[in-house]
């Protein structure tokens, strides 16, 4: 269980790092969809690592709303984490093409990371 938690955290950190690297490119070269997808997947892995660490089941195919609900059942601090924009993700790139959306996804990923690692 400890190794799985570590692996999920490392994967999440790598995904968040990739999203940040993409944002370091000149604005016209940033692939917004890539940033959002990496941030979304990082959030899933962060939440999963918390669940595994606390002995709960984690299915990577679960939606963010269910994962967050499970985390909230374990620790009420997760009530402070607001991930509603992620509840109905779409694979449609048009939805994730704005810099505002990118910034929102990055903030949610960073907030999730901070909640999970306790900062």
Range of the domain at 19: 2-117
| CB-based contacts of 68, cutoff 8 Å, min separation 6 | 47, 78, 81, 83
What are 30-43's pLDDT values in tens digits? Answer: 888 899 999 999 99
CATH code, 16: 1.20.120
Q: Kindly tell me if the per-residue pLDDT of 115 is higher than 80.
A: yes
The domain total for the chain is 1
- pLDDT tens digits along 95-112: 556 778 889 999 999 999
Does the pLDDT at position 69 exceed 80? yes
| Other CB atoms within 10 A of residue 54 CB | 15
Classify the C-alpha dihedral 48-54-59-65 as positive or negative.
Answer: negative
Region of 118 please: left (phi>0), alpha (psi -120 to 50) or beta. left
pLDDT digits (tens, 9 = 90+) for 19-65: 999 989 988 888 888 999 999 999 999 999 999 999 999 998 899 99
**Would you say residue 1 has pLDDT above 80?**
no
pLDDT number for residue 118: 80
Say what the pLDDT of residue 92 is: 54
State whether residue 87 is helix, strand or coil: coil
The mean per-residue pLDDT over the stretch 81-90 comes to: 79
Q: What is the pTM of this model?
A: 0.90
Q: How far apart are CA 50 and CA 74, in angstroms?
A: 9
């Amino acid at each position: 269980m400890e190794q799985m938690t570590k692996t999920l955290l490392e994967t999440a950190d790598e995904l968040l790092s990739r999203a940040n690297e993409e944002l370091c490119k000149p604005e016209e070269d940033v692939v917004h969809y890539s940033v959002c997808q990496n941030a979304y997947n990082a959030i899933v892995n962060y939440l999963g690592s918390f669940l595994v660490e606390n002995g709960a089941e984690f299915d990577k195919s679960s939606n963010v709303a269910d994962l967050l609900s499970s985390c909230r059942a374990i620790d009420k601090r997760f009530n402070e984490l607001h991930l509603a924009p992620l509840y109905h993700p779409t694979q449609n790139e048009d939805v994730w093409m704005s810099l505002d959306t990118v910034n929102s996804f990055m903030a949610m990923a960073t907030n999730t990371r901070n909640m999970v690692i306790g900062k």
